[in-house]
Amino acid sequence: MNSQNVEAGPYSADTHHQVDAHVLRQVRRSASATRTITRTMPTMDQQADAVVIGAGVIGSSITLELARRGLNVLCLDKLPAAGYGSTSSSSAVVRFTYSTESSVAMSWEGLHYWRDWANHVSVGPGSGIDHDALVEYSTVPMVMFHHSDEPEPPYLEHFKRLGIPHEVVSPGALPSWLESVDTRRFGPAARLDDADDPFWGEPDDSFDIAIVCADAGFVSDPQLAAQNLATAAMAAGASFAFKTKVVEINSDSSSNRITGLVVEDESGERRRIQTPVVVNAAGPHSSGVNAMAGAVEDMARTSRALRREVYIGPAPEGYDDQGAFMCGDLDIGVYYRPEKGDNILVSSTEPECDELEWVDPDDYDTVLSEDEFQLNMLRASRRFPNLAIPHSKRGLVSLYDASDDWTPIYDRSMIDGFYMACGSSGNQFKNAAIAGHIMAELITAVEGGHDHDAEALVITGRYTGMQIDMSTFSRLRPVDPDGANTVLG
C-alpha cells in the first residue's frame, strides 16, 4: 500500500477547526444524504456527526479528538462509566519495544502525551478537571535481557533509526540496581508439569547484555486516564451515554454507507441514532460489533476476547524506588513492573507452552486460577531469588481484545463510514492518546475523499515529528513472519 503524509502540530482548537472545516462539511453532507436514503424509516431520536462505540481509554480518546475537530460526537458504552471495562484492568505500561518501526514511533510519540497530560486534557477553568484529578506518569526503566549470541531484537534497529534513547549495557557493567537479579538464561519458558523441559532445570549460561530504556514507565490509574479523556471530550462538546448497548448497526446497501444504529438503555427502551460515521472501539466486544455491522468479509486480520490474569505480590528486597524496573521477560515467560504499596505486578507474556483462553466476553470465569497464580509467580521468582510467593492469590481477571498478530487494527472498513480501533488490548494502553489522534486523522481524510486502502496515510507525530505509517495497522495487512507473536508486540 502506498502512503500519504498527514501533518499536525501540538493541539490548538483554532488550528483543528481550520484544518478540518472541509471534512466537517463532508461528514454533514453525508449525513444529509443519509437522511434522504432513510426517509422511510421511523423518526430518529437523535443525530450525530459520529458515534464512538466504547468509552474505554481509546474510545474516549477518539471521542475527544473528533470533538476537537468540530464534530458532534456521541460515545456509547454498555458499562456505567468511562474506563470501567478492560481499561480498568490494564497494567498501563509505557514502553517502546515493538517489532515494527511504526509501532515504535507511535509508542515514543505516545510517551509525550503522558508527559504533557495536563495540557492534552486542557486542565483549567471550564475543563471539569483540576490537577488533583489527573493521572500520574511514573518513570521506571524498561529492561530487556539479551545475549550476544542471539540475533539483535528488531526493536533495537528501530531505536537506532528513530533515535529512541536507550543504552546497551555491555557484559560486566550491569547497573547496580540489577545486582539482586539472577541474570541466568532459564528459557525457554516451561510449565511446572513439563517433563520434557523441566521448570527447575539449572541453566548453564547467563545474559550478558541489558537493553535499558530510561524513559519508560507506567500510568498510575488507567481508569482515571479514560475519565480524564472523557471529561475533556465533554468540555469539547461531546456527549456520552452509559449503560447503553448497541443492538443494530444500519447501513444502506445501495450506497455502501453507514446510516445509523439502534441502542438500548438499561430499562430496555430502544432508540435510533442517525449518523454517517461509527467508530468501533468496543474492546473485547469489538469482533461482535464488526460482525453486527457486516464489516468482516475483507479482513485479513481480526481480533477476539482473550481471558487474562494479572497477579500482585510483595516486591522482592531491593525492588523499590531506587531499584525497581520493568521487563518483558520472554526468557521466563512473564512481564513485571512495580506496583503501589511495595508490590510487584506479574503477568504472562503468552509463551508457547501456555494455552491461550479465548472466551465469550459476556460469559467467562472471573476467578483467579490458583495454579496459574503459583506458576507465574514462581516464574518471576527465578529472576528474583528473594521474591516471596504469597500463600493467598492476589490479582485480577480481565479481557484483552487481542488481534491474531498482537498488532492493533486502526483502520476504515469495507463499509463507508465504519471505522475500527480493535485488537488494542494488552499493549496499546500507552498509545491511547496518539491512537485517538491517528484515528481522527484517518476519519478526517477518508470522509474527505481519501482512498486509504490504496494509499495508506503516514501521520506525523505532533510532539516528535516521527512518521507513523498507518499501513502497519491495516485490516488488510499480510502475515509478517518476523512480526509480533506475544503481547509485547
Give domain status of residue 479, yes or no: no
> Are 7 and 155 within one domain?
no
- Residue ranges in 215-285 assigned as alpha helix (H): 222-235
> Are 320 and 382 within one domain?
yes
> Are 175 and 49 within one domain?
no
Grid coordinates representing 205? Answer: 549460561
> Are 284 and 422 within one domain?
yes
Domain count across the chain: 2
> Are 255 and 345 within one domain?
no
Give domain status of residue 35, yes or no: yes
* Residuewise pLDDT in 10s, the chain (489 residues): 555 665 544 433 333 433 344 434 444 344 433 322 222 333 458 999 999 999 999 999 999 999 999 999 999 999 999 999 999 999 999 999 999 999 999 999 999 999 999 999 987 676 777 778 899 999 999 999 999 889 999 999 999 999 999 999 986 777 777 877 999 999 999 999 987 778 998 898 999 899 999 999 999 899 999 999 999 999 999 999 999 999 999 999 999 999 999 999 999 999 999 999 999 999 999 999 999 999 999 999 999 999 999 999 999 998 987 789 999 999 999 999 999 999 999 999 999 999 999 999 999 999 999 999 999 999 999 999 999 999 899 999 999 999 999 999 999 999 999 999 999 988 899 999 999 999 999 999 999 999 999 999 999 999 999 999 999 999 999 977 565 566 776
Cβ neighbourhood burial of 20 (10 Å; 0-12, 13-18, 19+): buried
The CA distance from 429 to 437, in Å, is 14
8 A C-beta contact, residue 209 and residue 145:
yes
8 A C-beta contact, residue 366 and residue 307:
no
CA dihedral 130, 131, 135, 137 (to 10 degrees): 150
**Owning domain of residue 194:** 142-213+303-403
> Are 264 and 392 within one domain?
no
> Are 192 and 264 within one domain?
no
> Are 433 and 295 within one domain?
yes
Q: What is the pLDDT of residue 176?
A: 78
**H or E element: which one contains 261?**
strand 257-265
Q: What is the pLDDT of residue 177?
A: 77
> Are 124 and 38 within one domain?
yes
CATH of the domain at 35: 3.50.50.60
CATH of the domain at 351: 3.30.9.10
Give domain status of residue 486, yes or no: no
Q: What is the pLDDT of residue 118?
A: 94
Give domain status of residue 341, yes or no: yes
> Are 39 and 116 within one domain?
yes
> Are 309 and 447 within one domain?
no
Listed residues 403, 420, 442: the one ending a domain: 403
The CA distance from 298 to 428, in Å, is 24
Helix, strand, coil percentages in the chain from 3-state DSSP, rounded to 5 = 30, 25, 45
Give domain status of residue 480, yes or no: no
Give domain status of residue 487, yes or no: no
Give domain status of residue 330, yes or no: yes
> Are 74 and 126 within one domain?
yes
Give domain status of residue 389, yes or no: yes
Among candidate residues 348, 347, 339, 334, the one with its CA nearest the CA of residue 319: 339
